[in-house]
Structure 1
């Protein structure tokens, strides 16, 4: 083998160290993400106050010092969980819904995605809601993080309401803050009735509540746009398969 080919295969001096550093950084990021995912699961069931470095070490099969190295403190861990929850909420609710046209179709999509999120959190819990109960009277960085994330979401909803007014779908004199208040109130009631009371009709009642909001504030053009959007959604959603023991005539229908 010639010296030329040898030199070509031999790594340049100092190049191995940066590669090792990059791999170490990537591994550290992956470990932190795994810890954060476990922390989010714990917080969903136990609340943010239920989080501790020790409990997380048990779940992740890591040492306390290993977990501590990634977050530094319990407070930092709680804030990281709030931010992670918010990122997932944005991805599942906001970024999906804003694909709909501006106006009532988008506002309805935001609400329906929100309802869907609550429906899948019935057995775990919403960190926004449980966090508000835990930190409503406890000033500090964790409360500030929670308030900031919830306000971000409320601002996005309020903007969608104002855009619906600009589109002529909501009455120009409609109070955007009142609409936002009523929509949030429906979500709080849904969470309470579905999670605490285990009421089987909670989801349907939330839908009826939104229909009443639309009837109260929508213009005729808005109602038409809302009906069209609902029909488009229904047409795009494949029907649920009939149970195996359903009568043949029902399955054919």
Structure 2
């Protein structure tokens, strides 16, 4: 009986977080309300409160749940790929597809909540900043690992990796923002062309990368 209660609690928690991730990607983390979530899911407000304790706890749990979705959609599928710029491209391609398919209704969850909390001090901002820093370091790590595999830049060019990572992420996030605001799926293809252009320009063997990205013709 105790195990049954724990499992029901876990199921309720997952249902709440599925709902809060969708809401936050559109309305922001400040748009979350324990009472509204309870009403939407047919739960008691006291039951939701018992699971999360406060709005801030709910916001933090939502960010962490979104991290796991992001890892499953973008990072884990390329984890075992051989090191090299092809792996970097595959990661970027996964990111563009994750945004294009609206895994979260508002596009990239972290783009949305970063803009909401970037100037607000506190635990939620700190958690979002950590997630963003972890993502940046991961992209930089893949680029660093591409060097021995025929990658780019001279050993003394210490800014080559951070600069390229910054440019790739900027292209991805602009595609997300442009598509969400204007409903234009071509933004993903344009970003893909830009990313491939940068990677091919620094690659020792550019022929190992596609010349053009796939055609992202719709969000379906």
Q: CA deviation at 1:172?
A: 3.2
Summarize the Cα distance change of 1:83–1:226 in structure 2 as closer, same or farther, 3 Å threshold. same
User: Using the alignment, how far apart are the partners of 1:187 and 1:43 within structure 2?
Assistant: 20
Give me the CA root mean square deviation. Answer: 2.0
User: Using the alignment, how far apart are the partners of 2:101 and 2:144 within structure 1?
Assistant: 29
1:51-92 deviation digits (Å, cap 9, x = unpaired): 011111111111111110000000000000000001110011
Q: Which residue of 2 aligns with 1:24?
A: 5
- Structure 1 runs of 4+ off > 4 angstroms? none
Q: Which residue of 2 aligns with 1:9?
A: none
- The within-5 A match list for 1:125-204 is 125-173=107-155, 175-204=160-189
Q: Which residue of 2 aligns with 1:247?
A: none
Q: CA deviation at 1:123?
A: 4.5
Q: CA deviation at 1:200?
A: 4.2
Q: CA deviation at 1:171?
A: 2.7
Q: Which runs of 5+ in 1 are unaligned?
A: 1-19, 235-253
Local SS of the residue matching 1:166: coil
Q: CA deviation at 1:170?
A: 2.1
1:116-139 deviation digits (Å, cap 9, x = unpaired): 011122852322111111101101
Local SS of the residue matching 2:209: helix
1:57 aligned residue (13, 35, 38): 38
User: Using the alignment, how far apart are the partners of 1:137 and 1:128 within structure 2?
Assistant: 15
Q: Is the 8 A contact 2:24 2:113 kept in 1?
A: no
Q: Is the 8 A contact 1:103 1:160 kept in 2?
A: yes
TM-score when normalising by structure 1: 0.77
Please tell me whether Structure 1 or Structure 2 has the larger radius of gyration of its CA atoms. Answer: 1
Q: Is the 8 A contact 2:89 2:196 kept in 1?
A: no
